[in-house]
Structure 1
């Protein structure tokens, strides 16, 4: 009997040990469900995620702070958004999202709430990165959103998509291989700054927005850098739009049906078309560097725009105007203009005319592009004049580049001046010594 009791005690102890051993594993399994932790949390509480992979799609419906680290990965489960935010004052940061269901058109993160904050999130997606739907006063920062580089651009979705969402801020975010990097439609008072978009369709795409600010962003190797359409009061400042050449109609910057925009101090370089202004009016473009594009600036159906103090250098065709009128294009710097300043006011007394003859003839006969600046092409350009209404005219072109300070220009001219003086002195010495030699003979 005693031996039976001892055996029973041993079995009980073993079972107790196993219970104690495995109970924490059960608790950890509960903790590894993010949705469970959200349900158990209180409003305003911080939910810290342990490192690991979580295969689930979650819904946040209360104001909490969800935080992980670089070792936390949330993997989409099903066709719903990986994260849905249906609350205000939610903060999520520091983890990775893999939203790779090929049959899903849902975004990795869907936001329908106000005053939410997203930071330090890496998103790999076959669909949208982040969608805001009637969501206001949100901040999206320090994000990385990557689409499927093997997918055709037309089949991709946007990196960040805003619909009727106002007063949002997007900054310090990198987006690649999507359709449009940042797409904003019918949303007002949006600030977009310090972002980079590359290898996508359009870097930044505005549709029917008011008072949007695009500042210190970069867009490169896209079909087009910035597409600004149907907007009022847009500010575009200190952006870099470069190497957007993926299509015959690639653009650095498009202003279409846009009014009252201010475009200043941007670098628009090495694009198919630098700036295209179409059906747009009352916009100001100043102090922009438009360089190395096939076409520098092009107008179509544009009226009453003010283009001044810009630098147009090394563009194959500096500009063209079609069906456009009352645009002020005076006092710009043109790299190929040989000016004459009689009065010393740093403004040329010779008018500069941008004749798009080469553009017109190569549009009709593309192989003629090989003859750029050849003597025959120059002769034809002088012989066959483009209609005046297609010419872009600067009545008072600048003698100096406004983007280079006068001090720098003076400094740059000093070596040239010294070289010329040296040549003059050497020439005088040669002549003098030659005369002396002849006298001796």
Structure 2
């Protein structure tokens, strides 16, 4: 039977934890408790009033180390604002549950190491120290060799990567809000990760799936990943057998970026008001179908990706012909590789993206298109879902203005260079 104990503030928390027996529940009353503390047995540690219990840590050690199996911690506010290497919360026990925490950190907010089958839910993690470069910040939640974790309903702001998973399989990442970080969700060397119904806003990249297999990226919304030259809504690199479905990707520099990736399915996504809708590089045997590309400055770019199944997408920059009235164009949409090939060899030419001179050169390059990536049956009209998603986009006006400004600058540079040459 669990022993429920209530304790007043200002008592030493570690002494209370040491005195508890396995299976006890410690309910802390409002107050400030000093860290660092270690939990090495199966107990429940809960705030009597959520947010009223503050665990404050001024040491270089983790504010809270959880070494025991089956530990539950709920409702604490943890203040650990010194920049340091050790995480604010370090978990090495199995089947740990963290719920309703509010963490101010100067390190990794929560780090999981060699621990499995845990849960982090309804937790807020924020970077606290001022003036720290993003590259030097810690991650919000950091999993290493930690399998079958459930991460739901968390809000993570202004860290390095919001949720980082490495060598950690079968994680469920659902319903989280990830803002102002490098990558909202980042998985490497993982298998079976599910990334669903999350919201990413103003990160460098919304979701990064890298060197991973059988990942599911479904029903997420990634907006305004556009401040960095390498910004993308969803990025697949060396990703295989992965499903990217029913996401809304609006107002990013690149909506969907796929490189050196195979056997993936990209379907039903709404990709709108991005600078580039789709970039497909050195990737084959992928299925790309039923997506809507609306309001992007450029619908698509491709290079070295001729063996994909691309069909039934809507590209609003493409003018097709539907003689038989089946809703699909009788002529295919070929993705011109000229710009990608040119900028691969001469990166400074990116300045001339969509300039009149570059468009003209792309037209000249269009003689032999047999090896180009192409949509074999592009849709003549977007799906209702794509239209509704595009109408909901908050960044459409800003993205259009940005595109016009870039086009104008590129045009001036192009014609200025022509005059110099002459």
With the shorter chain as reference, the TM-score category is: 0.7 to 0.9
2:310 maps to 329
Give the one of 78, 83, 88 matched to 1:108: 88
1:164 maps to 145
Give the one of 253, 266, 291 matched to 1:310: 291
Q: What does 1:361-372 align with in structure 2 at a 5 Å threshold?
A: 364-369=348-353, 372=355
Give the one of 267, 275, 291 matched to 2:256: 275
Give the one of 213, 228, 236 matched to 2:209: 228
Give the whole-Å Cα distance in 1 for the aligned partners of 2:91 and 2:367: 53
1:249 maps to 230
Using the TM superposition, give the Cα deviation of residue 60 of structure 1 relative to its aligned residue in structure 2, in angstroms.
0.4
Out of 288-297 and 387-396, give the one that drifted further.
387-396
- Structure of larger gyration radius: 1
Cα separation, partners in 2 of 1:129 and 1:295, compared to 1, 3 Å = same
Using the TM superposition, give the Cα deviation of residue 397 of structure 1 relative to its aligned residue in structure 2, in angstroms.
0.6
Using the TM superposition, give the Cα deviation of residue 41 of structure 1 relative to its aligned residue in structure 2, in angstroms.
1.4
Give the whole-Å Cα distance in 2 for the aligned partners of 1:253 and 1:292: 14
Using the TM superposition, give the Cα deviation of residue 249 of structure 1 relative to its aligned residue in structure 2, in angstroms.
1.3
Q: Please, which runs of 5 or more residues in structure 1 have no aligned partner?
A: 1-26, 408-441
**Greater RCO (Cα-Cα under 8 Å, separation 6 or more):** 2
1:410 maps to none
1:348 maps to 329
Give the whole-Å Cα distance in 2 for the aligned partners of 1:174 and 1:81: 21
Using the TM superposition, give the Cα deviation of residue 229 of structure 1 relative to its aligned residue in structure 2, in angstroms.
0.7
Give the whole-Å Cα distance in 2 for the aligned partners of 1:394 and 1:352: 5
List per-residue Cα deviations over 1:200-250 (Å, max 9, x = no partner).
111110001010000000111111111101111100100011111121111
1:42 maps to 21
Residues 102 and 123 of structure 2 are in contact (CA less than 8 Å); yes or no, is this contact kept in structure 1? yes
Q: Please, which runs of 5 or more residues in structure 2 have no aligned partner?
A: 1-6, 389-422
Give the whole-Å Cα distance in 2 for the aligned partners of 1:277 and 1:192: 21
Residues 34 and 49 of structure 1 are in contact (CA less than 8 Å); yes or no, is this contact kept in structure 2? no
TM-score, normalised to structure 2, is: 0.84
Give the whole-Å Cα distance in 2 for the aligned partners of 1:115 and 1:194: 21
Cα separation, partners in 2 of 1:214 and 1:85, compared to 1, 3 Å = same
Using the TM superposition, give the Cα deviation of residue 345 of structure 1 relative to its aligned residue in structure 2, in angstroms.
1.7
Cα separation, partners in 2 of 1:231 and 1:377, compared to 1, 3 Å = closer
List per-residue Cα deviations over 1:87-125 (Å, max 9, x = no partner).
1111111121011123x2111111111111111101001
2:124 maps to 144
1:124 maps to 104
Residue aligned with 2:363, SS: helix
TM-score, normalised to structure 1, is: 0.80
Give the one of 305, 319, 328 matched to 1:338: 319
Using the TM superposition, give the Cα deviation of residue 83 of structure 1 relative to its aligned residue in structure 2, in angstroms.
0.5
Residues 290 and 310 of structure 1 are in contact (CA less than 8 Å); yes or no, is this contact kept in structure 2? yes
Cα separation, partners in 2 of 1:288 and 1:51, compared to 1, 3 Å = same
Out of 168-177 and 353-362, give the one that drifted further.
353-362
Give the one of 61, 67, 71 matched to 2:40: 61
Cα separation, partners in 2 of 1:121 and 1:386, compared to 1, 3 Å = farther
1:87 maps to 68
Aligned-residue Cα RMSD (Å) equals 2.4
Cα separation, partners in 2 of 1:389 and 1:170, compared to 1, 3 Å = farther
The count of residues paired between Structure 1 and Structure 2 equals 377
Residue aligned with 1:388, SS: coil
Q: 1:205 aligned to 2:203?
A: no
Residues 88 and 105 of structure 2 are in contact (CA less than 8 Å); yes or no, is this contact kept in structure 1? yes
Using the TM superposition, give the Cα deviation of residue 150 of structure 1 relative to its aligned residue in structure 2, in angstroms.
2.7
Cα separation, partners in 2 of 1:345 and 1:149, compared to 1, 3 Å = farther
Give the one of 178, 183, 194 matched to 2:164: 183
